[in-house]
Amino acid sequence: MEEKNQTEHQGTSNVHQIKPIRCIVKLGGAAITCKNEIEKINEENLKTVSLQLRQAMVSGSSSVKFLGMDWSKRPGISDIYSSVDDFREQPSLDSSSFIVVHGAGSFGHFQASKSGVHKGGLNQQLVKAGFVATRISVTSLNLEIVRALAREGIPSIGMSPFSCGWSTCERNIASADVSMVAKALDSGFVPVLHGDAVLDDSLGCTILSGDVIIRQLAAELKPEYIVFLTDVLGVYDRPPTEPNAMLLREIAVNEDGHWSVVKPALAERNRKVEITVAAHDTTGGMETKISEAAMIAKLGIDVYIVKAATTHSLRALSGELKGNIPDDWLGTVIRLRR
């Protein structure tokens, strides 16, 4: 797998990149914000996710002293000087390459839907204002996530897709410059991108989702694996709140993009599960998620969908699942049929 990735990197001629990327992590909006309260971060989850990311990045060093990298003034915390001085002589840790992409959750959603940013029309004052308001909301979330990661010693760098020059045409990606992301990685940083309001050549503007950003980054940078951190254990055959909802443990994707559930073994019921999944998917939920994931898996990249801030997410982030899936691991693996 590693060798294959490295070969593919050399073939990506338009991207300046030396280090292979290990993992792209999606922090789902539902996992890191409180969905029902406007602009409220789920601090506890975010802290655990940040801690797990550090553990996964710097393997075997969970006990190593680390340098917090958010030196900003914070309420209730007076002294940031002493910890800085401790690290004057500390050599750099060699954290392997991760990219973080986060959703919006309860940030940006109200602003975008109130003004219809996703439908375009920047000549209308309300849409233009909504575009500004949406970017303010999602960039404030981005800043808080960058700070949470930095406090755990992760050298995180906020990078807005809008500023990086990403734009769309009819909502499809028209321009997606990943060169700055690659340069930041090469310099040892962890780029933190997010779903964003962007310019659209045809509509004027629209919303670019975190999932579409991940698909683009995956295609261009070929990470070893991708982890989607969500607020449920994984992908189910029906809404997980329903009785008898069954966790789909492994989905195999063919070269042509078609996919089917291989674990739990369902044999003749396969087709029925697919239909059920599609049927309950009125809000771009699981069917969209599986389809997006299947497109990534087609590239030979493992996709893990797992509940954030659990032992299962730590194992996924650490790359434990690259071979066989342990029986006691709960989550959904989507990968190329072997």
State the burial class of residue 213 (Cβ atoms within 10 Å of its Cβ: 0-12, 13-18, 19+): buried
Handedness of CA 323, 324, 325, 326 (dihedral sign): negative
User: To which residue do tokens 């940006």 refer?
Assistant: 108
Measured CA to CA, the distance from residue 313 to residue 324 in angstroms comes to 16
CA-CA distance, 180 to 15, in Å (whole number)? 9
Q: Structure tokens of 335? A: 């990968």
Pick 46 or 248: Cβ nearer a second copy: 46
DSSP per-residue letters across 307-326: ETTSHHHHHHHTTTTSSSPP
Judged by beta carbon, residue 123 or residue 244, the one nearer a second copy is 123
List residues binding a second copy (CB under 8 A). Answer: 38-39, 67-73, 81, 84, 87-88, 90-93, 110-111, 114-115, 122-126, 128-133, 135-137, 139-140, 143, 146-147, 150, 153, 155-160, 162-165, 167, 177, 179-180, 183-184, 187-189, 199, 204-205
Distance in Å, CB of 254 to a second copy, minimum? 38
Angstrom distances, CA of residue 213 to CA of 36, 185, 194, 196, 203: 25, 16, 8, 10, 19
Handedness of CA 327, 330, 332, 334 (dihedral sign): negative
Shortest Cβ distance from residue 74 to a second copy (Å)?
10
Return d(Cα 303, Cα 251) in angstroms, integer: 10
How many other CB atoms are found less than 10 A from the CB of residue 194? 28
Would you state the structure tokens that stand for residue 263, as one six-digit string?
């674990």
**What's the CA gap between 4 and 34, in Å, rounded?**
40
Nearer to a second copy, 81 or 256 (CB): 81
Rounded to a whole number of angstroms, the minimum distance from the CB of residue 317 to a second copy is 20
Closest separation in Å from C-beta 330 to a second copy:
33
Q: What minimum distance in Å lies between the beta carbon of 23 and a second copy?
A: 19
Q: Which residues pair with 46 in a beta bridge?
A: none
Question: CB-wise, 1 or 136, nearer to a second copy?
Answer: 136
- The position carrying tokens 């699981």 is 286
CB of 159 to a second copy, least distance (A): 5
Question: Closer to a second copy at the Cβ: 165 or 300?
Answer: 165
**Closest CB 8 distance from a second copy, rounded Å:** 24
Closer to a second copy by CB, 150 or 207: give it: 150
Distance CA 286, CA 274 (A): 11
Binding annotation: 104-105, 109, 210, 231, 285, 289
Taking the least distance from each CB to a second copy, the nearer of 174 and 245 is 174
Q: Which helix (H) or strand (E) holds 157?
A: strand 156-158
